[in-house]
């Protein structure tokens, strides 16, 4: 998809430690390397506690990096702080899992979407035009602007969160389990929206999920994480259809398929793998 | 750009402002009215009072009302009525100064401490605690002496002593809000800390501050009167405290002098306290609870036989597959309604289903389809305001819908058990796992403590916990989500129920744990011969575990059938849509991109619009 020569985002041997108590440390990332090209979608799969969300947070400057390097567009952003970090907001944005907690309940949709623009000194009028455009892009009606998040369903809120990530026209969006709190039907629509938006705007995604089915749908390449390490990486099709690593195979077989006969086979295979492990 | 998959305009929403809701509370209205009277008297004191409050007229010493002097005179011959009004002015002005000082000092400190945490938090909290441990009255007396009895300085000093109240509230709110993802999102969008504090944090802190201010003002007025009573403050400023002092000194001969300032002081402080508590009530409850009258009306409405005109909507949906005698569960024409201001909202509209012992019944639907409400109605655990009406509910062959609430509750843990969606929030963090498993066995099944513990340990081993003794000793926060779900399942099956209801038991877990939990449910269900009713939105889960499926939409059943038949040839288009929403056989990104490259963008967009049409419509 992208030129391998100079990817948009490059993570080298990243190590993140969380301090649990005085003197007690937990190593959440044990030397992780990954690249994301411009306009590319890279998936990061694993169970809870595998460190996949920590990687996303480390890129955004929300997790303490112990060692390793994060390069964005040729620039070292590993320890970017203050003004340098705020400047990155032009290029890197985020969509979180929880469609309820990720929008300030006291703000209207317009305030939520205009806020990232006002930071950059955009005029009110210009901001309003961009907000209208983004609402249209995420397929929400224009009269949503004067409403509060509580007046929307989970899927609609996630659209608002996506619009907020898009208003600064970033080049990379970190999507941290953006559909796992939604109904399956809503999941499918939001995933299609992600794909359409990528085609329209050329934005790249780092797509974090525990669901191989979701990753298969949207990601060009996929890495599988287990206990703070990447155990398998490759073209999404290869990883999700013929996984090499036993953990990936277990992950794949654990996801139930919507077909009783095939699911019975899959379950038998999963049980076999589990009991032999 | 695709067409909006979505109504182009949103349904109007009725927003009721805080003020409007406040005015609906009789207590709030009375308190506000009384307080406004005091404010009115204070503001218009120069117009309302005909006499100078400090003018001494010897004819007026201890005078009775009359001659234009509405309340008579005090011990020094000053007009009581004028002094009362000008005193109100002093009192409110002082309270205002105190509250502003408290707000200005306490709130920024509290919000910063809560937001940044760490050393700053420790230092500020230490200062706040130190302030609270100092006897304020003594310091105020020193300040009064040092400042030449300046009234504003005294009031500001009082504000400093009341600032810890503001500090603690702001800090607590800020601490809970700073963990919200929207604060992270704000940081990622390039906002400075100062800006986050000013916007998001202040908005979160604001409602409790309103309440705190009403209470602080009350305290300030009380303290102020106390100081004035002791003779602190300029003698030429009329105040209620001074008047009370005057009254107190003459309490035996002229008790009436004490009465007026006491009444107005009491009324003002009480009004502020009541306003504060009413506001606190309104702010803590977002949605208004239905009144008892509304609830009774809803019950009556649900119970009346349907009029001929709404028959089609009130006909039962779904069907039965077994004879009543052979059913572990049978539900006939169940309806569930909630009383709202706008009238009755029916969320389950005529549902009939059944499940035999040893059978796994899946209830599938999207959020808002009424699937969870149906299971709550069977358990008789509907949230307040909910009413369930059914032609009949049979559990273990016994009709239960006409039983008393107490008899229904007695079924729980014996006949029916329940496994919830959020394992960790369904365990009490204050008790060990042992206590939470053993208590019900002793209560419900009358086991001895030793027997109950033995049984709990057995079941934990059965649900695949390898070190049951450690888990029994643990508190819920010490175990993982998957482990917590095993504990809850252990608790549910420990009473050997004939019917187990599991509401999205795996939705909060990731796929690997989900597979384990489903496997466990299947094994237990076979072993105990229970009927299992599993509520889910995931057709993968249905394919994995269910024998029969009920598909629900908008509170009604659209289709019932054996699991193979439903997947092979769904009769209702909605069922087909739900099944196809599963991503198993959907094209991957690779295929999508190839198709897109081949046909331009039209094909892909057509599909996504079709998908979207079924999505998140009106709520």
Concatenated DSSP letters of B101-147 = HHHHHHHHHHHHHHHH-HHHHHHHHHHHHHHHHS-HHHHHHHHHHHT
B265 Cβ contact list (under 8 Å, min separation 6) = B91, B221, B222, B225, B240, B244
**CB under 8 Å to B249, separation ≥6 — which residues?**
B75
Token pair of B175 as six digits: 């601490």
Those residues with Cβ within 8 angstroms of residue A181's Cβ, 6 or more apart along the chain or in another chain: A97, A98, A99, A154
**Which residue is listed with tokens 């009920």?**
B550
**Cβ-defined contact of A119 to B190 (cutoff 8 Å):** yes
Per DSSP, the three-state class of B294 is: helix
Residue from B387, B367, B371 nearest B619 by CA: B367
With respect to residue B481, please indicate whether it lies within any of the assigned structural domains: yes
CA max distance for chain B = 106
CA distance B391 to A32: 61
**Which conformational region is residue B77 in: left (phi greater than 0), alpha (psi within -120 to 50 degrees), or beta?**
left
Q: What is the CATH number of the domain that holds B543?
A: 3.40.50.300
pLDDT of residue A164: 94
Assess whether B364 and B222 both reside in one domain: no
Contact residues on chain A for B517, CB-CB shorter than 8 A: none
Between CA B42 and CA B71 the distance in angstroms is: 17
Residue B107 counted as domain residue: yes
Nearest-neighbour CA in chain A from B210: distance (Å): 16
Q: Which residues of A touch B569 (CB under 8 A)?
A: none
List the single residue in A with minimal CA-CA distance to B604. A196
* DSSP state string for B321-376: -S-GGG-SEEEEEEEEEEEETTEEEEEEEEEEEEE-TT-EEEEE--TTSSHHHHHH
Compute the CA torsion angle B281, B282, B286, B290 (nearest 10 deg).
80
Rounded Cα distance, B474 and B426, in Å: 15
Domain CATH code at residue B87: 1.10.3720.10
Taking a C-beta distance cutoff of 8 angstroms, is the pair B451, B479 a contact? no
Structure tokens at B222: 């009380």
Contacts of A275 in chain B (CB under 8 A): none
Minimal-distance CA residue of chain B relative to A222:
B589
pLDDT along chain B (619 residues), means of 10: 44 68 88 94 89 86 82 87 91 95 96 93 96 90 86 92 95 91 91 91 88 92 91 84 90 88 94 90 64 71 57 70 86 86 80 93 90 92 84 88 87 89 86 91 89 92 88 87 88 90 85 88 91 92 93 92 93 91 83 84 47 42
Residues of A (1-40) whose Cβ lies below 8 Å from B: none
Same-domain check for residues B277 and B363: no
Q: Answer yes or no: are the C-beta atoms of A131 and A145 closer than 8 Å.
A: yes
Which residues on B lie below 8 Å from A72 (Cβ)? none
The answer as to whether B406 is a domain residue is no
Residues of A in contact with B616 (CB under 8 A): 153-156, 186, 189
In a domain, B616, yes or no: no
Tell if the CB–CB gap between A217 and B5 is shorter than 8 Å. no
> Please, are residues A248 and A239 in contact by the beta-carbon 8 Å criterion?
yes
| CA neighbours closer than 13 Å in the CB half-sphere of residue A208 | 23
Residue A5 pLDDT:
63
- Determine the pLDDT at residue B13: 60
> If you count them, how many residues does chain B have?
619
User: Judged by CB atoms within 8 Å, which residues 229-248 of A form the interface with B?
Assistant: 235-237, 240
The number of beta carbons lying within 10 Å of the beta carbon of residue B100 is 14
Q: Report if residue B443 sits inside a domain.
A: yes
Is B362 found in the same domain as B214? Answer: no
What lies within 8 Å, CB to CB, of B40 at 6+ separation is none
Q: Out of B266, B283, B300, pick the residue that ends a domain.
A: B283
Judging by beta carbons within 10 Å of its beta carbon (0-12, 13-18, 19+), is residue A236 exposed, middle or buried? buried
Question: Which tokens is B232 given?
Answer: 């602190």
- For chain B, say whether A106 makes contact (Cβ under 8 Å): yes
Taking the CA of residue A254 and the nearest CA in chain B, the distance in Å comes to 5
CA distance A8 to A204: 8
d(CA B201, CA B194): 10
Question: B583 and B437 share a domain?
Answer: yes
A199 contacts in chain B (CB < 8 Å) = 596, 601, 604
Pair B274, B422 in one domain = no
Shared domain for B134 and B259, answered yes or no, is yes
Asked if residue B149 is part of any domain, the answer here is yes
Distance (Å, whole) CA B331 – CA B39 = 61
- Of B263, B283, B303, which residue is a domain's last? B283
The pLDDT value recorded for residue B287 is: 52
Rounded CA gap, B398 and B390, in Å? 14
3-state class (DSSP) for residue B237: coil
Which residue range forms the structural domain that includes residue B29?
22-283
Q: In angstroms, rounded to a whole number, what is the distance separating the alpha carbons of residues A144 and A98? A: 20
Same domain, yes or no, for B363 and B261? Answer: no
d(CA B249, CA B258): 9
Helices B449-462 and B481-493 pack at an angle, to 10 degrees, of 130
User: How far, in Å, CA of A260 to CA of A264, rounded?
Assistant: 6
Q: Does residue B363 share a domain with residue B254?
A: no
Q: Is A196 within 8 Å of B611 when comparing Cβ atoms?
A: no
* Judgement on whether residues B260 and B363 belong to the same structural domain of the protein: no
Tell me phi and psi for residue A152, to 5 degrees. -115, 155
Average pLDDT, integer, range A78-100 = 90
A52 inside 8 A of chain B by CB: no
Residue B495 lies inside a defined structural domain of this protein: yes
| Alpha-carbon gap: A3 to the closest alpha carbon of chain B (Å) | 17
What is the per-residue pLDDT for A150?
85
- B278 and B361 inside one domain: no
Give the helix, strand, coil percentages of chain A, each rounded to 5: 40, 25, 35
Strands B392-395 and B329-340: antiparallel
Residue A208 CA to residue A230 CA, distance in Å, equals 13
Residues B190 and A89: beta-carbon distance below 8 Å: yes
Helix, strand, coil tally for chain B in percent (to 5): 60, 10, 30
CB-nearest to A98 from B181, B186, B481 is B181
Residue whose C-alpha is closest to residue B328's, from B396, B417, B380: B396
First vs last Cα of chain A: how many Å apart? 37
CA B379 to chain centre: 23
Would you state the pLDDT for residue B236? 82
Q: What distance in Å separates the CA atoms of residue A248 and residue A234, rounded to the nearest whole number?
A: 12
> A259 contacts in B (CB within 8 Å)?
543, 567, 584
Residue of B4, B581, B601 lying closest to A184 (CB–CB): B581
B589/A41 touch (CB, cutoff 8 Å), yes or no? yes
Domain boundary among B253, B283, B313: B283
Question: In total, how many domains does chain B have?
Answer: 2
pLDDT at position A277 = 66
Phi, psi of A213 (to 5 degrees): -65, -45
B600 φ/ψ sector (left φ>0, alpha ψ -120 to 50, else beta): left
| Helix ranges (DSSP H) in B390-545 | 405-411, 433-445, 449-462, 468-473, 481-493, 511-528, 539-545
The DSSP output letter for B70 is: S
Q: What pLDDT is stored for residue B43 in this prediction? A: 92
The answer to whether the Cβ–Cβ distance between B584 and A213 falls below 8 Å is yes
**pLDDT tens digit string along A7-60?**
999 999 999 998 877 778 889 999 999 999 999 999 999 988 889 999 999 999
Asked if residue B362 and residue B216 are part of one domain, the reply reads: no
Q: Is A41 on the interface with B (CB under 8 A)?
A: yes
Q: Tell me if B498 sits within 8 A of B326, measured CB to CB.
A: no
Q: Are strands A229-235 and B386-389 parallel, antiparallel or unpaired?
A: unpaired
What pTM was computed for the model? 0.82
Helices (H), chain A: 52-59, 82-88, 109-119, 124-137, 154-166, 184-201, 212-218, 236-241, 246-254, 260-276
The partner residue sitting opposite B588, judged by closest CB among A98, A216, A271, is A216
Tokens found for residue B534: 């599993």
> Which among A247, A29, A8 is positioned nearest to B511, based on CA atoms?
A247
Is B188 part of any domain? Answer: yes
Position A56 scores a pLDDT of 94
Do B615 and A185 make contact, defined as CB atoms within 8 angstroms? yes
């Amino acid at each position: 998809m992208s030129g391998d020569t100079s990817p948009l985002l490059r993570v080298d041997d990243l190590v993140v430690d969380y301090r649990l108590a005085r003197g007690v440390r937990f190593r959440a990332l044990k030397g992780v390397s990954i690249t994301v090209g411009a306009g590319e979608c890279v998936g990061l799969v694993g169970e809870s506690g595998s460190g996949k969300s920590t990687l996303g947070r480390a890129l955004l400057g929300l997790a303490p990096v112990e060692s390793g390097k994060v390069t964005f567009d040729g620039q070292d952003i590993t320890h970017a702080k203050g003004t340098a970090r705020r400047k990155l907001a032009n290029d890197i944005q985020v969509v979180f899992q929880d469609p309820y907690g990720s929008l300030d309940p006291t703000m209207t949709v317009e305030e939520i979407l205009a806020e990232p623009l006002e930071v950059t000194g955009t005029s009110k009028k210009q901001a309003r035009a961009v907000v209208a455009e983004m609402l249209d892009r995420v397929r929400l009606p224009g009269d949503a602007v004067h409403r509060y998040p509580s007046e929307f369903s989970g899927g609609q809120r996630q659209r608002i969160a996506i619009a907020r990530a898009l208003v600064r026209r970033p080049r990379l969006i970190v999507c941290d389990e953006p559909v796992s709190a939604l109904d399956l039907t809503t999941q499918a629509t939001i995933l299609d929206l992600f794909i359409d938006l990528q085609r329209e705007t050329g934005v790249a995604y780092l797509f974090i999920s525990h669901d191989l089915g979701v990753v298969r749908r949207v990601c060009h390449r996929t890495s599988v994480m287990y206990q703070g390490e990447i155990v398998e990486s490759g073209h999404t099709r290869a990883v999700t259809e013929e996984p090499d690593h036993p953990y990936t195979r277990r992950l794949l077989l654990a996801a139930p398929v919507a077909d009783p006969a095939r699911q019975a086979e899959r379950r038998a295979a999963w049980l076999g793998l589990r009991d032999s492990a | 750009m695709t067409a909006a998959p979505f109504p182009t305009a949103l349904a109007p929403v009725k927003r009721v402002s805080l003020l409007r809701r406040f005015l609906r509370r009789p207590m709030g209205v009375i308190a506000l009215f009384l307080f406004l009277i005091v404010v009115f008297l204070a503001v218009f004191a120069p117009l309302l009072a005909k006499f100078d409050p400090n003018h001494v007229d010897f004819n007026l010493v201890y005078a009775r009302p009359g001659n234009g002097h509405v309340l008579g005179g005090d011990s020094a011959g000053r007009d009581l009525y004028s002094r009362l009004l000008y005193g109100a002015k002093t009192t409110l002005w002082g309270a205002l100064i105190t509250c502003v000082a408290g707000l200005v000092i306490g709130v920024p400190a509290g919000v910063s401490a809560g937001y940044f945490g760490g050393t700053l938090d420790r230092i500020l909290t230490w200062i706040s605690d130190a302030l609270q441990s100092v006897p304020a009255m003594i310091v105020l007396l020193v300040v009064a002496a040092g400042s030449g009895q300046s009234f504003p300085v005294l009031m500001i000093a009082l504000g400093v002593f009341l600032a810890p109240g503001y500090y603690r509230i702001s800090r607590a709110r800020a601490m809970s809000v700073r963990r919200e993802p929207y604060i992270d999102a704000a940081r990622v969008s390039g906002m400075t800390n100062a800006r986050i504090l000013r916007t998001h944090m202040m908005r979160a802190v604001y409602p409790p501050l309103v309440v705190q201010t009403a209470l602080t003002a009350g305290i300030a007025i009380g303290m102020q009167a106390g100081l004035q009573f002791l003779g602190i403050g300029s003698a030429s400023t009329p105040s209620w405290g001074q008047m009370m002092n005057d009254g107190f000194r003459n309490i035996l001969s002229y008790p009436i002098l004490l009465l007026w300032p006491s009444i107005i002081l009491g009324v003002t402080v009480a009004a502020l306290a009541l306003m504060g508590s009413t506001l606190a009530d309104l702010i803590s409850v977002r949605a208004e609870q239905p009144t008892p009258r509304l609830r009774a009306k809803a019950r009556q409405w649900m119970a009346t036989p349907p009029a001929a005109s709404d028959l089609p909507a009130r006909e039962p949906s779904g069907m039965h597959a077994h004879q009543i005698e052979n059913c572990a569960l049978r539900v006939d024409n169940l309806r569930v309604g909630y009383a709202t201001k706008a009238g009755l909202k029916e969320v389950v509209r005529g549902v009939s289903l059944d499940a035999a012992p040893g059978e796994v019944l899946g209830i599938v639907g999207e959020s808002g389809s009424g699937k969870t409400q149906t299971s709550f109605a069977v358990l008789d655990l509907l949230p307040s305001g909910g009413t369930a009406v059914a032609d009949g509910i049979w559990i273990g062959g016994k009709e239960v819908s006409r039983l008393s609430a107490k008899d229904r509750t007695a079924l729980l843990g014996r006949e029916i058990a329940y496994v919830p969606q959020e394992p960790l929030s369904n365990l009490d963090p204050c008790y060990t796992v042992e206590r939470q498993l053993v208590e019900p066995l002793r209560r419900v099944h009358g086991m001895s403590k030793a027997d109950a513990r033995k049984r709990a340990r057995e079941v934990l081993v059965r649900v695949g916990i390898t070190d049951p003794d450690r888990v029994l000793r643990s508190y819920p926060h010490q175990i993982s989500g998957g482990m917590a779900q095993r504990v809850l399942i252990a608790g549910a099956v420990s009473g050997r129920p004939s019917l187990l209801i599991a509401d999205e038991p795996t939705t909060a877990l990731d796929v690997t744990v989900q597979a384990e939990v489903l496997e466990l449910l299947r094994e237990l269900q076979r072993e105990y011969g229970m009927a299992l009713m599993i509520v889910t939105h995931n057709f993968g889960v249905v394919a994995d575990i269910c024998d029969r499926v009920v598909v629900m939409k908008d509170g009604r059943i659209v289709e019932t059938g054996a699991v193979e038949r439903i997947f092979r040839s769904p009769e209702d288009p909605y069922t087909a849509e739900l099944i196809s929403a599963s991503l198993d056989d959907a094209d991957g990104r690779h295929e999508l991109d190839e198709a897109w490259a081949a046909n331009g963008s039209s094909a892909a967009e057509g599909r996504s619009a079709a998908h979207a049409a079924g999505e998140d419509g009106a709520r």
